[in-house]
Structure 1
């Protein structure tokens, strides 16, 4: 287990906050000892919460060209047929995964292939489980085309707490299944849009492990 590169600034600021506030309380303000001790404990807990958020686990990715693997840790909150209006402009099977603040927030590429389409959308910060978060929140849309021509679309979606989406892909890039696609800071969601004939292998409320859990099997 290591710390992800996206956490360097946030962790540094959190450490600075802990040091400065504790120094001010203990040596400048000179308040009661019980308050200084309570703040010390609370600020250290806060620091470790930030630290664990940016953890980077070591995972062995089971590569399979027929499988669509979970792009993130979290819980399956949506499985339904929808009309995808940005790229496919037609019916697709949507699987959505909600990422709580305690989940690892790295995003993995669900299949191997070429990035056929990518777009960043600025937007709102509705709670990640809100039905309109997929179309109104800050988000990215990525479409991967497998070697056999099958296309899978997935979206990084910012939540009420998430204020920054990071991505490492661009159109025309060849990506490996399970390689890092990006990172979303704090609570968020990822939507995956699959062909209608894909066999869904997860159920609502299932917990997913990014890069490992198999969401669906492609024809």
Structure 2
């Protein structure tokens, strides 16, 4: 099975975003300059270059061929699974599965299932700490609603105060395969997945680590 793709620029450096090419090039140039002028500084510039490259990681992800599996949207850690009413797109009682993305986690968000993008809304807001109970409704955030063969689901991607980088990388009406890249949120964030509670049987618990496009969040039972 081939990796889901979008219309984005192809990376010049395997495993890294296209934006990393300039960052790594500048860093290596500074390292070379330091070797010629101040050799003692070269390890520091090389370490900073490696750290910068790590923040632009784009690992190859190929989801298993499982049409009734809901995959992780982001690399991170499951914070909670709770029942809520979702009023923006699903308009139903839902399970909300929350994943917290750390500052050094891969920043790429991927479609959890195959479907069609039916709703996109990007909201400017505050930059509160994610531990603030009001952060999901007050911070800068991106909503992506997906229609599937078994019903709608909504993703809410929330920016953390450190990076303030949240970018939508899909379009309304786009047809997605599971694992397709749909957004990026650098330097930490949070992703809430809203899905009708009678549709999914969760397969994660708080504290579990996830890999976008590979870890299983749940099984579709509807």
More helix by share: 1
CA deviations on 1:86-126 (whole Å, 9 max, x unpaired) are 33344311111111122111111011111111101111122
Distance 1:44 1:19, change over 3 A: closer
Residue correspondence of structure 1 range 83-162 to structure 2 within 5 A:
83-148=85-150, 150-162=151-163
- Work out which of the two has the higher radius of gyration on C-alpha atoms and give 1 or 2: 1
**Contact 1:70–1:208 (CA under 8 A) maintained in structure 2:** yes
1:56 is paired with a residue whose SS is coil
- Deviation of 1:84 after TM superposition, in Å, equals 2.4
Segments of structure 1 that go 5 or more residues without pairing to the other structure are 28-32
- Deviation of 1:14 after TM superposition, in Å, equals 5.5
Distance 1:128 1:46, change over 3 A: farther
Q: Which contiguous aligned blocks of 4+ residues in structure 1 show a shift greater than 6 angstroms?
A: none
Distance 1:116 1:94 in 2: 19
Structure 1 counterpart of 2:187: 186
Structure 2 counterpart of 1:2: 15
Q: Are 1:67 and 2:106 an aligned pair?
A: no
CA deviations on 1:13-40 (whole Å, 9 max, x unpaired) are 6667x569959xx96xxxxx7xx72x54
- Deviation of 1:147 after TM superposition, in Å, equals 2.2
Structure 1 counterpart of 2:6: none
TM-score norm. by structure 2 comes to 0.82
CA RMSD of aligned residues (A): 2.4
